[in-house]
Structure 1
Amino acid sequence: MATSSRDLLLWGAGIGATAFVGYALYFDYRRTHAPDYKDSIRQKRKAAASRQRDEPFNLPNMGDAAAVQNFFLQEIQIGEELIAQGLEDEGIKHLCNAVVLCGQPDHLINIFRQTMAEHFDRIVAELPHAQARVQAAVIAQRGGIRAESEERGAIVDADDLE
């Protein structure tokens, strides 16, 4: 039986693919059975979680009321969409950013208490972290000078909340 070049090529490709899969399995086995594998995974997850929590975001120019209002409305919309998609942690983070930037946070919190009762406790628990993120972003935006009037947030009309 004569072996054609096509058959040899197929055999070579099959052997190469088998060798590659074997190497990948061997490497994965060695990696997952290393003594410090679980510890390194835990450290990476913890670092990623803290990095995500402390991740700065781009605030609009706090002197431009229209830009702050648009950012506020955008944060509420993004937060509601993420919660509807099942990404509750990210959605709550955006809603908390909106509360911190709101000129009347008590009114907005009451709206969230009525409309998002199942997420309300998590929103309230996340508020201090959101306030710290916004303050850090304002300080970075101002070049390290903290404006006392902006600690509470920018002014947003109550009519825009509904």
Structure 2
Amino acid sequence: MMVSVGRSGVLAVGLCGALFLGYCIYFDRKRRSDPTYKSRLRERRKQQKMDQERAGLPKLPDLKDPEAVQKFFLEEIQLGPDLCCSGEVESCVDHLSSAVSVCAQPQQLLQVLQQTLPPPVLQLLLARLPTLRQRISGAQSLTEEDIE
């Protein structure tokens, strides 16, 4: 009797899984065949980009272009300490965190910054890094041309 209950349970779970998979496929096709899907997606990405610009965060370079990344990194590293010396701590942290986020060896850069920055500024910088990692991963996501 236990064997038949086990088989019927497995059958019920398999059926539920198949129904769920069918549900997902149906609505994914329905979503993708919607004529306004691509335009809504473009609008959402445009809005996210505008929100980032409004937040005052520096615009990230094309991460596939090493020269642009290097130029961006050097500019941000130079601006950070200058702003810190002039008392603009928030701007300093913004620029330094952007530099750390595109740096090829962020741990070594953080060690250098730990020795040169005041502790409160370093704490702000370390607190801001997780949000910038999300921003970087968003920048590396699919471009509009990749959408089908």
TM-score normalised to structure 1 length: 0.50
Shift of 1:87: 0.6
Shift of 1:62: 1.6
Shift of 1:128: 0.9
Cα 1:93–1:57 shift into 2, 3 Å: closer
Gaps of at least 5 residues in structure 2 are 1-50
2:141 corresponds to which of 139, 142, 153: 139
Cα 1:63–1:98 shift into 2, 3 Å: same
Aligned equivalent of 2:103: 102
Moved over 6 A (4+): 50-53
Judging by fraction of residues, say which structure has more helix.
2
Contact 2:80 2:93 in 1 (8 A): yes
Gaps of at least 5 residues in structure 1 are 1-49, 146-162
Contact 2:53 2:59 in 1 (8 A): no
Contact 1:76 1:95 in 2 (8 A): yes
Cα 1:68–1:76 shift into 2, 3 Å: same
Shift of 1:67: 1.1
Aligned equivalent of 1:66: 67
Cα displacement string for residues 10-45 of structure 1 (whole angstroms, at most 9, x for unaligned residues)? xxxxxxxxxxxxxxxxxxxxxxxxxxxxxxxxxxxx
1:92 partner amino acid: V
2:95 partner amino acid: H
Cα 1:72–1:144 shift into 2, 3 Å: farther
Contact 1:72 1:101 in 2 (8 A): yes
TM-score normalised to structure 2 length: 0.55
Aligned equivalent of 1:111: 112
Shift of 1:113: 0.7
Shift of 1:57: 3.9
Aligned equivalents of 1:137, 1:122: Cα separation in 2: 23
Aligned equivalents of 2:123, 2:54: Cα separation in 1: 18
Q: Summarize the alignment of residues 47-58 of structure 1 with structure 2, pairs less than 5 Å apart.
A: 54=55, 57-58=58-59
Larger Rg: 1
Higher relative contact order (CA 8 A, sep 6+): 1
Aligned equivalent of 1:122: 124
